[in-house]
């Protein structure tokens, strides 16, 4: 742990006191976040108990928990959650397989390794909206390069109800596998070489070395990657929204957007937002726990 400045020292008493400096430095940020993040959430909590519609001038009527009751018993919303779960599973699963696999490949002496790693990391730094847009070009049924390379003519990727969700997930895997790779590489490179040397002396098999040395030592960082990606995939809006508009790709964030900004069911959408928010905060809590653990190591 870090040593703190000794606030009792004589020198610290010149100028502003430490407490004053701390407050001047920290409080504006807290106020800013409260005003622009927490206050709006309180505001929408209020609206979630009303039938307010932002498109009309009719005043909001208090209807108690009706919005929540309606949402939780709406099979349509459950479908959105199921779609989201499927999407999270496929895209995060794919990212872990590809990302960790490539990290294992890269974890050796590779010529121009720095350049190779940086090039691989490019996709995840790009805008989801723009990536979604140009993957539409690649997915085009009649002249897209994907169909051409795979030898499929006229296969519909994005307007096929069965495939569209997985096509979006594939784009997400392309974009975010490097993220898993980056964290896995950090974990792999931190494994002390002498462990492998000891295993080699004991004539351990590759599989044994992998499952008993590599995997356990990479797991903390891999878990951070998985939890973070799960949370991001759960919140996905841009990519799926840009790429398709099928019923089978209506992730919960897209449902929420439509309810709020197209159907203008403001009150009800605030209630749904709260349900989503609670889920995200739960995952965030787990994430920060693991993050702090990794930091302490």
Partner 1 sequence: MVVTSKSHRIWNRALIALVFVLVIAYLLPLYWISSTAFKPRSLATTVPPTVVFQPEVTPFVKLFTSRVQMRGEVEPEIYAKAPWYEKRVYDAGERVIKDADGNIETSGYWSRFLNSIIIAVTSTFLAVAMGTLTAYGFSRFRMPGEQDWLFFILSTRMLPPVVVAIPMFLMYRTVGLVDSHLGLIILYTAFNLSFSVWLMKGFIDEIPIEYEEAALVDGYTRMQAFFKIVLPQAATGIAATAVFCFITAWNEYAFALMMTNRKAQTAPPYIPSQLGSGVTDWTVIAAGTFLFLVPVAVFTFLLRKHLLRGVTFGAIRK
The residue among 243, 230, 253, 229 whose CA lies nearest residue 81 is 253
Least distance CB 98 / partner 1 (angstroms) = 9
Q: Which listed residue (150, 161, 277, 286) binds partner 1 by CB under 8 A? A: 277
What are the backbone angles phi and psi of residue 65, rounded to the nearest 5°?
Answer: -90, 10
Share in percent of the chain as helix, strand, coil (round to 5)? 75, 0, 25
What Rg value do the Cα atoms of the chain yield, rounded?
Answer: 25
Spatial contact of 288 and 227, defined as CB atoms under 8 Å apart: no
Rounded Cα distance, 143 and 151, in Å: 11
Residue with tokens 């742990």: 1
Q: How far is the CB of 166 from partner 1 (least distance, A)?
A: 17
Q: Per-residue string for binding with partner 1, 40-59, x by CB under 8 A? A: xx-xx--x------x-----
Considering only residues 165 to 204 of the shown chain, the ones binding partner 1 according to CB under 8 A are 174, 179, 182-183, 186, 189-190, 196-197, 200-201
Closer residue to partner 1 in complex, CB, 14/56: 14
Decide if residue 207 touches partner 1 (CB under 8 A). no
Question: Residue 229: CA atoms inside 13 Å, Cβ hemisphere, count?
Answer: 30
Q: How far is the CB of 131 from partner 1 (least distance, A)?
A: 8
Interactions with partner 1, residue window 108-147 (CB under 8 A): 108, 110-111, 114, 116-130, 132-138, 140, 142-143, 145
Our finding on whether 217 is near partner 1 (CB under 8 A) is no
CA triple 272-243-119, angle to 5 deg = 110
Per the CB < 8 A criterion, the answer to whether 92 and 229 are in contact is: yes
Which 3 state secondary structure label does DSSP give 50? strand
Q: What size, in residues, is the chain?
A: 297
Does position 5 interact with partner 1 (CB under 8 A)? The reply is: yes
CB of 77 to partner 1, least distance (A): 15
Query: How many positions of this chain bind partner 1 (CB under 8 A)?
Result: 109
> 30, 72, 161, 215: which one contacts partner 1 (CB under 8 A)?
30
Minimal distance, residue 174 CB to partner 1, in Å: 7
Question: With CB under 8 A as the contact rule, which of the stretches 61-69, 79-87, 157-165, 268-276 interacts with partner 1?
Answer: 268-276
Report helix, strand or coil for 62: strand
Q: CB-wise, 65 or 129, nearer to partner 1?
A: 129
Examine residue 221 and tell whether it contacts partner 1 (CB under 8 A): yes
Q: Confirm if 184 and 103 have CB atoms less than 8 A apart.
A: yes
**Of positions 77, 90, 224, 240, contacts partner 1 by CB under 8 A:** 224
**With respect to partner 1, which residue has the nearer C-beta, 109 or 162?**
109
In this structure, what token pair is assigned to residue 69? 């009751």
Which window, 70-78, 79-87, 89-97, 259-267, contacts partner 1 (CB under 8 A)? Answer: 259-267
The closest alpha carbon to 165, from 227, 88, 94, belongs to: 88
Question: Could you say whether residue 94 binds partner 1 (CB under 8 A)?
Answer: no
On whether the CB atoms of residues 188 and 218 are closer than 8 A, the answer is: yes
Comparing CB distances to partner 1, the nearer of 18 and 66 is 18
């Amino acid at each position: 742990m870090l040593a703190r400045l000794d606030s009792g020292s004589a020198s610290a008493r010149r100028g502003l006191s430490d407490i004053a400096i701390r407050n001047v430095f920290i409080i504006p940020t807290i106020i800013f976040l409260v005003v622009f993040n927490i206050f709006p959430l309180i505001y929408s909590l209020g609206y979630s108990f009303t039938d307010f519609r932002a498109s009309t001038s009719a005043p909001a009527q208090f209807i108690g928990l009706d919005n929540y009751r309606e949402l939780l018993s709406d099979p349509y919303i459950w479908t959105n959650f199921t779609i989201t779960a499927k999407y999270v599973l496929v895209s995060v699963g794919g990212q872990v397989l590809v990302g960790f696999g490539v990290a294992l490949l890269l974890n050796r002496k590779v010529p121009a390794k720095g350049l190779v790693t940086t090039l691989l990391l490019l996709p995840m730094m790009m805008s989801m909206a723009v990536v979604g847009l140009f993957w539409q070009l690649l997915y085009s049924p009649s002249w897209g390069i994907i169909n051409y390379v795979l030898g499929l003519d006229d296969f519909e990727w994005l307007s096929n109800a069965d495939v569209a969700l997985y096509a979006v997930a594939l784009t997400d895997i392309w974009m975010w596998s490097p993220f898993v790779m980056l964290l896995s590489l950090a974990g792999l490179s931190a494994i002390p070489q002498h462990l492998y040397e000891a295993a080699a002396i004991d004539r351990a098999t590759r599989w044994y070395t992998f499952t008993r040395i590599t995997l356990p030592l990479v797991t903390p960082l891999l878990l951070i990657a998985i939890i973070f990606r799960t949370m991001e995939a759960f919140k996905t809006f841009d990519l799926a929204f840009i790429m398709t508009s099928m019923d089978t790709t209506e992730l919960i964030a897209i449902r929420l957007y439509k309810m709020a900004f197209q159907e203008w069911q403001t009150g009800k959408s605030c209630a749904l937002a709260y349900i989503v928010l609670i889920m995200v905060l739960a995952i965030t809590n787990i994430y920060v726990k693991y993050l702090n653990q990794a930091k302490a190591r």
